[in-house]
Amino acid sequence: MPIRKFPDPILRKKSEKIFSIDKDLIQFGYDMLETMQSAKGVGLAAPQVGKLLRMITIQIPENDPMIMINPYISNKEGSREVQEGCLSVPGFTGIIERSIKIDAEYLDVNQSKIKFTAQELLSQAIEHEIDHLNGIMYTDHLKSHEDLHKTGVTPDETHWHDVGYKIHISNDKSTKDDLSMCEVIEKKIELSKIKSDSSLDDASLEI
Ligand SMILES: [Zn+2]
């Protein structure tokens, strides 16, 4: 299934609780697993493949893949800084805070209620995917846009730090050369205006 990318509006919507676990839903869960694995992701949430349902898939290295229906975090403990990325925001990672440990529960495809405690990458992935079910993206947890890093940056490439820039707006009476008559506005591009594939030129057109 194609993975929806930021700023697709579906990523900002809240997903519906699942009341009936039928054959089609289970098949959708396995399709999500396959999509996640072929994208080399650790987790995937249903809205990322276009369905506003409370279902996520997780696969932590050396663990069995999991399909979680109506996943829910009942307790969070502690806070730690982690590096995070998202299949819907390709090419970027950021440092954010996540819990050290969580208690969570979900229904599996056999309708059994599973309760468990998770730490490290597993708890991080579950917090990330449950956020997706509530229309929240990890980029919302960044303290500022400067915490977002472009991956695979080459020396010649414009680095994300360069998004802080100045705009010169001439008033009616000023000539092109008369910069002292210009109003100078410093503007930081808000994260919400940066599309993962847009250059700085594209972004400045939206202001
Ligand atoms: Zn994500």
* Number of domains the chain is built from: 2
Does 63 fall in a domain?
yes
Cα of 145 vs centre of ligand 1, distance in Å, is 17
Cα of 100 vs centre of ligand 1, distance in Å, is 19
Query: pLDDT under 50 in the chain at which residues?
Result: 153-171, 174, 176-207
Residues 174 and 73 in one domain: no
Cα of 189 vs centre of ligand 1, distance in Å, is 22
Question: Shortest CA distance to 46 belongs to which of 21, 23, 68, 24?
Answer: 68
Does 112 fall in a domain?
yes
Residues 91 and 174 in one domain: no
Query: pLDDT, tens digit, for every residue of 5-64?
Result: 999 999 999 999 999 999 999 999 999 999 999 999 999 999 999 999 999 999 998 889
Residues 110 and 68 in one domain: yes
Residues 104 and 26 in one domain: yes
- The reply to whether 186 belongs to the active site is no
Query: Please, how many CA atoms are within 13 Å of residue 197, restricted to the half-sphere of its CB?
Result: 4
Cα of 12 vs centre of ligand 1, distance in Å, is 12
pTM of the entire predicted model: 0.73
Residues 64 and 130 in one domain: yes
CATH number where 116 lies: 3.90.45.10
Cβ–Cβ < 8 Å for 167, 185: yes
Residues 89 and 190 in one domain: no
| Token pair in block for residue 190 | 């808000």
Range of the domain at 181: 163-200
Does 57 fall in a domain?
yes
Question: Shortest CA distance to 42 belongs to which of 153, 124, 143?
Answer: 124
**Which residue matches tokens 């002292």?**
180
Residues 144 and 182 in one domain: no
Does 38 fall in a domain?
yes
Cβ–Cβ < 8 Å for 53, 16: yes
- With a pLDDT cut of 70, the percent of the chain lying above it is 72
- What is the per-residue pLDDT for 205? 30
Partnered with residue 103 across adjacent β-strands are: 75, 117
Cα of 125 vs centre of ligand 1, distance in Å, is 9
Q: Which of 129, 157, 186, 190 is catalytic?
A: 129
Does 205 fall in a domain?
no
Q: 84 Cβ partners below 8 Å, 6+ apart?
A: 93, 94, 95, 96, 98, 124, 128, 138
